Amino acid sequence: MPRTTKDDRPAPRANPAVVPVLAFAGIAVAVMQTLLVPVVKDLPQLLDTAPSNATWVLTSTLLSGAVATPIMGRLGDLYGKRRMLVASLAVMVVGALVSAVTSDLLTMIVGRTLQGFAMGAIPLGIGLMRDTLPAERLGSAMGLMSSSIGVGGGLALPGAALVAQHADWHALFYGAAGLGVLSIALTLLVVPESPVRAPGGFDLPGALGLSAGLVLLLLPVTKGGDWGWSSPVTLGMFGAAVVVLLLWGLMELRRTAPLVDLRTTARREVLLTNLASIMVGVSFYVISLVLPQLLQLPTATGYGLGQSMVVAGLSVAPLGLTMMFTAPVYARMSARYGPRATLITGLLVIGLGYAGGLGLMSAAWQTVVTSVVVGAGIGLAYSSLPALIMSAVPPSETGAANGLNALMRSIGTSVSSAVIGMVLASTARDVGGVAVPTMHGFRVSFLIATAAVVVGIVLALFLPRTRPATGLQLRASSEEDASLARATEAGATAPVR
């Protein structure tokens, strides 16, 4: 019996190509995020500016992505997830083309800011899968979509390095724009619009308040190393972020159709999942920061592996590829044991990878082993997060809830970048007037990732236990037909109450 929308019209049958097309959109976004990594150290020369100014090219994308992710998720709930997915990708394409034709710092920052809007594609894609796919396909599909950010990053690193070595670096942006255009075309051709809509309208004051709070929070996190962690600017912005976010929360609790339903967010399963997501984000980014530097440091340091930019990218690429291959494994594990158990297993594997990686830093093949193990764990952990979130929220809030969860991961990567950058800078040694990271700094970074994993496991242990079920019936709000409550995946699990 086909599913029906609220007005009893049959919902469109899902095209078999929906999953790969949505996953391709996620990969395109990840490529956009990662394409400048191989040329980060050269940005001051390429843009004819100071190193502290060049970092705004990366910071601007982070900030706009953090702001756009929950907002685009809510807009998707209200006006259509496919529509907002296409809009996000279109803004990314415009931003990539702006960056492709300039070497001016301010124009480049504008282009990179526009590219950050595409970060909403992952939660929108997951929401579309929930609303349009049959239950038996949903588990592995969500796992693949969640992992696409790592898959795209893993593929982009060696590809971008190859382009940067042999062509004008602006070609990177033309390539990203091309992927975005192709993704838009495929989405319009293959992906049906979601029949699910949230009641109410868009909370513009809530969006502005959240945007201000996130900028005030994430800006000192990413720039604190340059400004000084105890500087009045850094401390003042942290203090202002606390005040703004508290006032925003009070305002959201009073609104009938808030941007983020904080009462739903405060549910134990949602809150703990979001907190665990921060820890997964921290652990995911550490390996991306450490291994490329270790691989490219000259052997004259005594511990550097002396590899080229391309080889370094290829050595880290298994991190993303392994994430992709764990999607079907996640579906089977979750069907039998539940997403909570899968999250805990994933975190344990990540911890094993980092703990083992402490002794596997003396050859390129050893970094590949570390990447494979950590990637497998992150793939399992990332894949379990949407199922945990969607089992606790009504269908009409899928986009906003997954957007907030994606934001938590972004906060984790931002914190990881700031903390690991500070550790590597404080433990660096001077070689010919250049600060070079030390092996001690790399190992401390891995220990920090391991500690984040431990915190994540503790949080996951407090999630509600699950029991096998024929399909988890996602909670529908009282305004929706019972027909809109769907299973998250075949053989998924339901909380024991």
Check residue 257 and give its pLDDT: 82
| Residue from 379, 391, 368 nearest 489 by CA | 391
Helix (H, G, I), strand (E, B) or coil at 154: helix
Check residue 246 and give its pLDDT: 94
Check residue 34 and give its pLDDT: 79
Residues 6+ apart with CB under 8 A from 41: none
Check residue 461 and give its pLDDT: 93
- Residue 472 near residue 310, CB atoms below 8 Å: no
Check residue 295 and give its pLDDT: 87
* Cα 137 from Cα 401, distance rounded (Å): 21
- The yes-or-no verdict on residue 479 having pLDDT over 80 is no
- The yes-or-no verdict on residue 216 having pLDDT over 80 is yes
**Beta strand pairing call for 487-490 and 471-473:** antiparallel
Q: Provide the pLDDT confidence category of residue 108 given band limits of 50, 70 and 90.
A: very high
CB atoms within 10 A of CB 36: 24
**54 vs 399: which has the higher pLDDT:** 54
**253 vs 157: which has the higher pLDDT:** 253
Check residue 159 and give its pLDDT: 79
- The yes-or-no verdict on residue 487 having pLDDT over 90 is no
Check residue 14 and give its pLDDT: 61
370-381 residues labelled b (16+ CB within 10 A) or e (exposed): bbbbbbbbbbbb
pLDDT in tens, 460-478: 999 887 554 433 443 333 3
CB atoms within 10 A of CB 304: 17
| Residue from 473, 481, 479, 475 nearest 6 by CA | 481
Q: Provide the pLDDT confidence category of residue 15 given band limits of 50, 70 and 90.
A: confident
* Cα 273 from Cα 460, distance rounded (Å): 7
Check residue 137 and give its pLDDT: 76
* Alpha helix segments (H runs only) across 228-296: 232-254, 262-265, 268-296
Q: Provide the pLDDT confidence category of residue 162 given band limits of 50, 70 and 90.
A: confident
The tokens for 330 are 């996640």
Burial of 438 (0-12, 13-18, 19+ CB in 10 A): middle
Check residue 189 and give its pLDDT: 94
- Residue 25 near residue 173, CB atoms below 8 Å: no
How far, rounded to the nearest angstrom, does the alpha carbon of residue 324 sit from its chain's CA centroid? 14
Q: How far is CA 301 from CA 168, 295, 362, 370, 469, in A?
A: 30, 12, 12, 22, 56
In this prediction, residues 425-433 reach a mean pLDDT of 77
What is the overall mean pLDDT for the chain? 82
In this prediction, residues 101-125 reach a mean pLDDT of 90
- The yes-or-no verdict on residue 154 having pLDDT over 50 is yes
DSSP 8-class letter at 243:
H
- The yes-or-no verdict on residue 430 having pLDDT over 80 is no
Check residue 111 and give its pLDDT: 95
Helix (H, G, I), strand (E, B) or coil at 231: coil
- Residue 122 near residue 58, CB atoms below 8 Å: no
CB atoms within 10 A of CB 254: 7
pLDDT in tens, 338-357: 889 999 999 999 999 999 88
pLDDT in tens, 133-151: 887 777 778 777 877 777 7
Residues 6+ apart with CB under 8 A from 201: 78, 257
Residues 6+ apart with CB under 8 A from 61: 33, 112, 113, 115, 116
| Residue from 316, 295, 277, 310 nearest 150 by CA | 316
**330 vs 455: which has the higher pLDDT:** 455
| Residue from 150, 226, 211, 216 nearest 418 by CA | 226
pLDDT in tens, 381-399: 888 888 888 887 877 777 7
Check residue 496 and give its pLDDT: 41
The tokens for 20 are 């790969």
**% of the chain at pLDDT higher than 70:** 90
CB atoms within 10 A of CB 244: 19
Check residue 13 and give its pLDDT: 57
This prediction has a pTM of 0.79
* Cα 67 from Cα 239, distance rounded (Å): 19
- The yes-or-no verdict on residue 3 having pLDDT over 50 is no
* Cα 85 from Cα 440, distance rounded (Å): 43
Check residue 467 and give its pLDDT: 53
* Cα 388 from Cα 38, distance rounded (Å): 35
Check residue 437 and give its pLDDT: 85
Q: Residue 206: what are its φ and ψ, rounded to 5°?
A: -65, -40
- The yes-or-no verdict on residue 43 having pLDDT over 60 is yes
Q: Provide the pLDDT confidence category of residue 2 given band limits of 50, 70 and 90.
A: very low
**94 vs 417: which has the higher pLDDT:** 94
pLDDT in tens, 278-334: 999 888 888 888 888 888 888 888 888 888 877 887 888 788 778 777 767 777 787
Check residue 468 and give its pLDDT: 43
